[in-house]
């Protein structure tokens, strides 16, 4: 079954006989000449070109082949041929000659409003998506992110949603495990943060970058004097890793200097790691800009690591099924703005 808008006479196959003259009604079988019973003899929908609905709508509105041709920007022969096909499909003449004009049959009058509504709805389906009505938007979005990032941007994001779309809800969940693929299977709308790998079709947009810093409690011995790689390696560390990793880029940088640090614990939550740091002599790691407010709330002291480390990319990821979804596009814009505001503020 085809569904596309006609643009030229080439869209319509040539016809002969009654098709060439819309003024001559087709000869109908006796059983098919009485209103709706004609449709019982019509062809299955799968064999009908739905472009004919557009032509039928124009013919019923104009009650003229020439008028319909002008409306559709087609030639009169093309519309005439289309009328012939409509007659065969419906088993009804649709328009018949009455003097110098054409008049609709009772069946044509009966279906006119429905045909027009179908055409308008089809145009709406294929029309570009406009901005969503935020005042009435009632939808729950699922966002995957680390607890550190949620704690940093959550207030700003929720404030934006409350002001713009008060009926929108967020389900904020931890980042997925390597074996899970919630963006692809549709159980999540967005993932934000440092995204290492995704399915090949996933859209990944880099919003900016942050850098890693060491964090310790106030009064920690490392706050006295410069933090050298040797002093950093001699301390005891806690790391946050949703995969339970005990090493990472910091360990690689230290190894390049012939040093090795002691990691005593790996936890899945950044919040838990920072809490452990706040109440012990452990050393933690946090993003410089995004972690600012959280570190201040816990009374933690930021320290430059003094190592050659890769930057922390901050990304936004989603499945292409949502590329043209207006509410999803709006949500992505809100997340972009909040994250960019967070990472463009002055450093420590």
| CATH fold group of domain 212-310 | D-Maltodextrin-Binding Protein; domain 2 (3.40.190)
Alpha helices in 165-214 (DSSP H): 182-185
Residue 171 tokens, joined: 């389900």
Q: How far is the C-alpha of 266 from the C-alpha of 243, rounded, in Å?
A: 9
For residue range 301-327, list pLDDT tens digits in order: 999 999 999 999 999 999 999 998 999
Alpha helices in the chain (DSSP H): 51-62, 65-72, 76-90, 106-126, 147-164, 182-185, 229-234, 249-256, 270-278, 292-298, 326-343
Can you tell me which residue has the tokens 């049959």? 105
For residue range 170-221, list pLDDT tens digits in order: 999 987 766 678 998 889 999 999 887 677 889 999 998 999 999 999 999 9
Q: How far is the C-alpha of 113 from the C-alpha of 5, rounded, in Å?
A: 19
- Within this chain, domains 140-209+313-343 and 212-310 share the same CATH topology: yes
Cβ neighbours for 316, distance < 8 A, ≥ 6 positions apart:
190, 191, 192, 204, 205, 207, 332, 335, 336, 339
What confidence score (pLDDT) does residue 2 get? 40
Mean pLDDT, residues 58-63 taken together: 93
In CATH terms, 140-209+313-343 corresponds, of 3.40.50.2300, 3.40.190.10, 3.40.50.720, 2.60.40.10, to 3.40.190.10
Cβ neighbours for 122, distance < 8 A, ≥ 6 positions apart:
3, 50, 53
Domain boundaries of the chain, sorted by first residue: 9-126, 140-209+313-343, 212-310
Give the end-to-end CA distance of the chain in Å, rounded to a whole number: 63
For residue range 86-103, list pLDDT tens digits in order: 999 999 999 999 988 899
Split at pLDDT 50, 70, 90, the class of 342 is confident
Split at pLDDT 50, 70, 90, the class of 35 is very low
Calculate the average pLDDT of the chain. 84
Residue 173 tokens, joined: 């969940």
Q: Which comes out higher in pLDDT, residue 43 or 300?
A: 300
What confidence score (pLDDT) does residue 185 get? 87
| CATH fold group of domain 9-126 | Arc Repressor Mutant, subunit A (1.10.10)
Q: Which residues of 21-54 are buried (b: 16+ CB within 10 A; e: fewer)?
A: ebeebbebeeebbeeeebeeeeeeeeebbebbbb
Does residue 275 have a pLDDT over 50? yes
Q: How far is the C-alpha of 59 from the C-alpha of 83, rounded, in Å?
A: 8
């Amino acid at each position: 079954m085809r569904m596309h808008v006609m643009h030229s006479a080439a869209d319509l196959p040539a016809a002969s006989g009654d098709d060439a003259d819309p003024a001559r009604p087709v000869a109908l079988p006796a059983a098919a000449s009485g209103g709706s019973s004609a449709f019982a003899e019509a062809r299955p929908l799968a064999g009908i070109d739905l472009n004919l609905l557009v032509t039928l709508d124009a013919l019923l509105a104009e009650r003229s082949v020439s008028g319909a041709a002008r409306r559709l920007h087609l030639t009169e022969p093309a519309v005439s041929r289309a009328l012939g096909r409509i007659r065969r499909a419906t088993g009804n003449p649709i328009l018949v000659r009455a003097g110098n004009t054409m008049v609709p049959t009772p069946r044509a009058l009966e279906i006119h409003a429905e045909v027009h509504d179908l055409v308008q709805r089809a145009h709406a389906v294929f029309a570009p998506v406009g901005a969503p009505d935020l005042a009435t938007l009632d939808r729950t979005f699922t966002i995957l992110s680390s607890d550190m990032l949620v704690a940093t941007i959550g207030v700003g994001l929720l404030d934006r949603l409350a002001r713009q779309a008060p009926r929108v809800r967020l389900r904020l969940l931890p980042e997925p495990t390597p074996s899970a693929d919630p963006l692809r299977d549709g159980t999540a709308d967005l993932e934000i943060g440092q995204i290492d790998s995704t399915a090949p079709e996933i859209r990944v947009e880099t919003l900016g970058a942050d850098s890693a810093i060491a964090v310790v409690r106030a009064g920690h011995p490392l706050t006295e004097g410069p933090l050298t790689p040797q002093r950093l390696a001699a301390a005891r560390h806690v790391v946050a890793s949703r995969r339970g990793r005990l090493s990472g880029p910091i360990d690689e940088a230290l190894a390049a200097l012939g040093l090795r640090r002691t990691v005593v614990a790996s936890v899945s939550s950044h919040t838990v790691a920072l809490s452990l740091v706040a109440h012990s002599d452990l050393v933690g790691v946090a993003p410089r800009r995004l972690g600012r407010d959280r570190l201040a709330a816990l009374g933690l002291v930021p320290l430059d690591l003094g190592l050659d480390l890769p930057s922390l990319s901050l990304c936004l990821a989603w499945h292409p099924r949502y590329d043209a979804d207006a509410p999803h596009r709006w949500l992505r814009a809100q997340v972009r703005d909040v994250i960019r505001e967070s990472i463009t503020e002055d450093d420590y």
